[in-house]
Amino acid sequence: MARRAATRQLTSGRRSEEATRQTTTPRAGLRVAAYGTLALSAAFALTILYIHARLEAAHGAYTSFCNVNSRIDCDAVLTSRYSVLLGFPLAGWGLLTYAALAGMLAWQGRTSGPSRAQATLLFLGAAIWTCVFSLYMAAVSVIQLGTICLLCSGMYLLGIVLAVLAWRLARAEIDGPLFTPKRVGIVAAAVLVSLALVGSAQLMNLPDGNVLTPEGVRAASPEFYRWYTSQRVVDRLPPEQHAKGPADAPITIVEFSDFECTYCAMAFRDLRELTQRHPDSVRIVFHHFPLDRACNPTVETTLHGNACLAAVAAECAARHARFWEYHDALFEAQDRLGRDQLIAQAVALGIDRDTFTACLDAPDSMARVTTDIDAGAQLGVASTPTLFINGRTVQGALDRQFYEYVIAMARHDSPPNK
């Protein structure tokens, strides 16, 4: 009898050890997967921080490997006002978040009893916040900016993966129902309040050029102030051919651009937003400067093989009073500038196909483009976009938040002779 009891006790002990081992192994695997996800997320964040720093230092003259086209462009996203929160890059906040999550995970693995359950729930709540914020920023990128950042998207995807891992770990660690009404209420309230605070901070991130003064700009960003005030001022600019905005606007931005240039597409979006914010204060004047030797002898190498034809097509659209609509359509579909696509864009705007096609081959259409190129060359334009803001030369696309500084500075510049 004693031998049988001992056998039963030994068997029960082995089963208990085996059950513990079977339960512990998946938990350990989930923690390892979570650590790996956090490490990979941190690697993405560090890469984004590096690109962000290069873009800020170069004032738009740097192009990252993540700049694919007008739709997939990390640079456009990382120079938007949504890339910074309280003066600090979002990727930097991401690194701090990942470090905090790693700390919670380490605490969860080293404690037991009620403390372990609390650490598990805290890690789950933080992971849910990371997931929701990832979805929020993905929506901002697609809906508000109209551009996708591949590196950012990688972080967003990893945020979702981390939330799934945290949920599975919590299910393995906590007995009973995981999402009680009280817990759901606390997490939902925390997430909503946090999103509201972040959204408000992002909306206030862009300074108001109507209120700022040059002295305020110098105090807010002395480096930008020194750089901008050191740029060359041009007294005379070429006559306007394509302009929009009030003729008596206090600020005139003359733009030399290329429809196939990624940074020109970035400037297009920024200037469009600027004119929406200051409809009575800003006038935009467009001139062609395609970086294509087919029509521009000032460039040594053809960078954009469709740029000359796209410029001619825009002039053809102008003959039908559709220049600005066509201009916007080309920048929105920058990766589709072949001859057939250019014709299709015109037809979509109600322009007769045969008339437009004949115009593409007409010598006087190209002459209008070369007139702009000659004017740009005389002004020293060598890259696109090149802007003359009340005559002050700005080469390259500015970081988006700097346009409001420019507005404040330009109000005190004398407008150029037209």
Q: Which two tokens stand for residue 290?
A: 């395609």
The mean per-residue pLDDT over the stretch 258-273 comes to 87
8 A C-beta contact, residue 232 and residue 392: yes
The mean per-residue pLDDT over the stretch 327-349 comes to 89
- Check residue 376 and give its pLDDT: 94
- Check residue 377 and give its pLDDT: 94
Q: Which two tokens stand for residue 103?
A: 């700390």
Q: pLDDT for 382-406, tens place per residue?
A: 889 999 999 999 988 787 678 888 8
HSE-up (13 A, CA, CB side) for residue 130: 33
- Own/partner pairs for 393-397, CB < 8 Å, 24+ apart? 393/231, 393/232, 393/233, 393/234, 394/228, 394/231, 395/61, 396/58, 396/59, 396/60, 396/61, 396/263, 397/60, 397/79, 397/263, 397/264, 397/266, 397/267, 397/270
- Other CB atoms within 10 A of residue 118 CB: 13
Q: Which two tokens stand for residue 405?
A: 């500084």
Distances (CA, A) of 45 to 50, 160, 258: 9, 16, 32
Q: Which two tokens stand for residue 77?
A: 């996203």
CA distance between the termini of the chain: 111
Q: Quick one: pLDDT band at residue 98, thresholds 50, 70, 90?
A: very high
Alpha-carbon dihedral sign for residues 345, 351, 356, 360? negative
- What angle do helix axes 323-332 and 339-348 make, rounded to 10 degrees? 130
Q: What share of the chain in percent tops pLDDT 70?
A: 87
Q: What share of the chain in percent tops pLDDT 90?
A: 40
Residue with more model confidence, 21 or 311: 311
Distances (CA, A) of 76 to 2, 51, 79, 289: 78, 11, 5, 21
Choice among 39-43, 137-141, 208-212, 308-312 with the minimum mean pLDDT:
208-212
C-alpha 78/C-alpha 400 separation (Å) is 9
Choice among 38-42, 184-188, 331-335, 375-379 with the minimum mean pLDDT:
184-188
Q: Which residues pair with 252 in a beta bridge?
A: 283
On the question of pLDDT at 6 being above 50, the answer is no
Q: Which residues pair with 233 in a beta bridge?
A: 392
- Other CB atoms within 10 A of residue 110 CB: 10
**Peptide bond just before 385 cis, omega within 30 deg:** yes
- DSSP letter, residue 140: I
C-alpha 251/C-alpha 390 separation (Å) is 6
C-alpha 363/C-alpha 140 separation (Å) is 44
Q: Quick one: pLDDT band at residue 203, thresholds 50, 70, 90?
A: low
Residues 6+ apart with CB under 8 A from 76: 67, 145, 147, 149, 265, 266, 269
On the question of pLDDT at 36 being above 50, the answer is yes
On the question of pLDDT at 378 being above 90, the answer is yes
Q: pLDDT for 117-171, tens place per residue?
A: 889 989 999 999 899 999 988 988 888 777 789 999 999 999 999 999 999 999 8
C-alpha 336/C-alpha 227 separation (Å) is 36
8 A C-beta contact, residue 290 and residue 369: yes
8 A C-beta contact, residue 293 and residue 299: yes
Q: Which residues pair with 255 in a beta bridge?
A: 286, 387
Q: Torsion angle, CA of 342/343/348/350, rounded to 10 degrees? A: 130
Supply the mean pLDDT for the chain: 83
Q: Quick one: pLDDT band at residue 66, thresholds 50, 70, 90?
A: confident
- Check residue 326 and give its pLDDT: 94
Q: Which residues pair with 67 in a beta bridge?
A: 73
CA-based radius of gyration for the chain: 29
- Other CB atoms within 10 A of residue 240 CB: 14
- What angle do helix axes 363-378 and 307-318 make, rounded to 10 degrees? 110
C-alpha 76/C-alpha 62 separation (Å) is 11
Q: pLDDT for 271-308, tens place per residue?
A: 888 887 788 889 999 999 999 888 999 888 777 888 99
Q: Which domains does the chain have, with CATH numbers?
A: 17-203 (1.20.1440.130), 222-410 (3.40.30.10)
The answer to whether the pTM exceeds 0.85 is no
On the question of pLDDT at 81 being above 80, the answer is no
